[in-house]
Each structure stands twice: as C-alpha cells, then as structure tokens.
Copies of this chain bind each other. A is one copy, B any other.
Amino acid sequence: MRVAVIGGGQLARMMQEAASALGIPLAALVEARDGSTGQVVPDAVVGAPDDEDRVRALAERSAVLTFEHEHQATALLERLQAEGYSVQPSPAALLYARDKLAMRRRLGELGVPIPHWRQIRSETDLEEFLAQHGGRAIVKTARGGYDGKGVRAVEKSEEVGDWLEAMAAGGVELLAEEQVDFTCEVAALLARRPSGELRTWPVAETRQVDGVCSTVLAPAPDLDDRLAARAQEIAEQIAVGLNVTGVLAVEMFLSGDRLTVNELAMRPHNSGHWTIEGATTSQFEQHLRAVLDLPLGDTTPVAPHAVMVNLLGSVHEDPRHAYPEALGRYPEVKVHLYGKEVRPGRKLGHVTAIGEDLAELESRAAGAVAVLKGVE
C-alpha cells in the first residue's frame, strides 16, 4: 500500500503526517534530504522528477505514484502508465495543470466558464488582444508559473518584451487573458477516485497579496448558496471532464454573479490547508485515499468557520524563536511550520483558526502570523 510522491516541499510533508496516521508508508522523491519533506520521511530518495531510474524504482515498489507539484516529465509518466503502473493523477490529466494553453483549450471545449483568452504568437497578437480588452491583459507563460511567477498584468506589449523574445527563440509559449475585475477569488476543492467517487469540501475564499495566497476563509463568507453550488458544479465538471484523480483545486474569479476559472492544481493545495483542522477529512488524507482508490472520507467542516493565514517570510532568523510569544498569545490557533530556511516572501508555514466568530478567527490567525513573521 506504499504511496510514492514526487516532490519534497511542504505538501508532501503534510501528506506524510496523514500517511503516518493511516499506517500508509510514504516514499518521496525529493530535491534535498534535509528539505521540508526529507526531514520527516525516512524513505526519501534524492532526485529530479525527470530522473527515469529513480522515478521507475519508486514506482516499482509502490502501489501508486503521485505528485505534490505539476512540473513532471509527461513522457516518462506516460511510459510508466503504459507499463501498468498506477499514476494518479494520470499524465494526461496532469498536463492540464501544467500547461495553461492546453488547460484553456480543453476547458473551452468542455464549456467551462473561463476568461477571454488567446494564444500569443507575436507582439501583434498581444497588441490586438489589448485593443480588444480595454488596453489591459494578463499575460502568462504556458508552463512553469506558480505563486504569481509567470504571470504579469500588462498594458503595453513592452512589459513582456523579455517573454516575447524568449518565445521567438522557441523557449516559451504565451497566452493573454482578459483582466477580470473580480469581487473576490474562490477555490473549489474536491477529491476523486479512479473508480469515480467524488467528494467536495465547502468552497473557500482566497485572498492574494502580490499574486501569492495570503488568507483563506472557509466556507467563503460572501458566496451565497447558489454561487457556491455553481462553483462546486464547475469543479466537478472539470474533474470528470479531465479525468482528474486525487485532490483537485479550482481557483475561480467571482465578478458579480459570474464565475470564471483561473487556475487548476491537481494535488493538495494551499487553499485547502484549512481542512487539516477544519474538516472531518483533510485534503492530505483524502489525496492518499483517492490515489489508492480507497473510499473517500467525509468532508463536513467541524466548525462554522475556518481561517488560514500563510506565513510568508519572517524577520526572525528562525520563526520558531517567536513560539513563546505566538503560542502564548494565541493558544487556540494551530501553527504549521514546514522546516524551511527563511527567505523573503517564502512560504514558511501557515496558521489555522477554527470556530464560530469569523472576525475573531481572522484576528487570531493573522495575529499569530504577525508574531511569527516578526512584524508585531
């Protein structure tokens, strides 16, 4: 029943906490033995996701191969799958989380609501798109982007001159999307088994700062029941349409009554960290159950509200130095630190608060993060 995960960051680390509880052995292919995952997984092998020997060796001794990020070697995974190994999600599905052009095309075919977009093959393409969309657009590299990287809001094509040059040189594909004036951003989270069972968590609101997720509120406080059901329906349509297995997070813009899909992640996602304490089954446990094709767990929240705030960078050399103050002032919050060295803006951990009074929970979680960050 061993699960092999490719990736050595905080997501595989939190997967291990759930795997340990369930008595499921986890093996990880990690970037560094002393990284976030390597610190807590005895069965960690150092290697790159495209290192065929190492990935194959992991697959051979595991029941399933899964991932904590989308930057995988598609051809290698396709070979393994063709040889009969269980790869969850499948490389065919994973492509849509890895390549924004492929994702936009496929979601368009499925009739999923998405922002206006077009592939950019020249500066002229981009200038036309800008002219058609009020002089504003979001330009994205098709691959390699995350946490605001590979995404730029532009008004002039010169603002992505470097990308256009790289594209001309054949290294990069680009797309432009309308800049959606959203009321808020929401994320619909679900898990799906190869045999079809699917369970959704309540839709959460995500708040970004400089393109990076800062705060998650679950359930999304300003989403009415009809729109929440619609967001879940869209996510289910994507899960089934793309044959996603494991956890799927669908990030969406809400503009008035209009929901449009922004990004997909086929793995546990920052917008679902609240489920560790806030739901009967966490996204990490559910991902393991789903990729092993085991029955999924109940996703009911255990409290009316959950608030999760990311710890992005810290003034402290080590945020644990602030534990006496943070834990002392906020005994009700749950602190998660990922065992990473401090770098400016780096995701070092998160804090979750669950309970009945949303404003109080926000204040507690943000307060604890401020102390760990050293800005209070």
Contact = CB atoms under 8 A, between A and B. Distances in A.
A17 B14 CA distance: 9
B323 A294 contact: yes
Given A296-B331, A324-B295, A336 B23 contact: yes
Contact of A331 (B14, B297, B331): B297
A295 B339 contact: no
A302 B354 contact: yes
A72 interface: no
A298 interface: yes
Nearest to A335: B22
B20 A13 contact: yes
Given A16-B20, A296-B331, A298-B332, A39 B40 contact: no
Nearest to A278: B302
Contacts of A84: none
Contact of A332 (B16, B25, B44, B280): B280
B327 A294 contact: yes
Interface string A3-40: 00000000001101100111111000000000000111
A328 interface: yes
Interface residues of A, number: 45
Nearest to A349: B23
A42 interface: yes
Contacts of A276: 21
A21 B323 CA distance: 13
Contacts of A21: 14, 17, 276, 334-337
Interface of A: 1, 13-14, 16-17, 20-25, 38-42, 44, 276, 280-281, 289, 294-298, 300, 302-303, 319-320, 323-324, 327-328, 331-332, 334-339, 349, 354
Contacts of A338: 23
Contacts of A335: 21-22
Given A13-B20, A16-B20, A297 B327 contact: yes
Name the 6 nearest CB pairs between A and B, nearest first.
A23-B337, A295-B328, A295-B327, A298-B331, A298-B332, A42-B42
B22 A336 contact: yes
Contacts of A14: 21
Contacts of A24: 320
A9 to B, nearest CB: 13
Contact of A16 (B40, B289, B323, B339): B40
A86 to B, nearest CB: 15
Given A295-B327, A303-B302, A20 B22 contact: no
A297 B297 CA distance: 27
Contacts of A13: 20
17 contacts: A1-B320, A13-B20, A16-B40, A21-B336, A23-B319, A23-B320, A23-B336, A23-B338, A23-B339, A39-B42, A41-B42, A295-B328, A297-B331, A298-B331, A300-B332, A302-B302, A302-B303
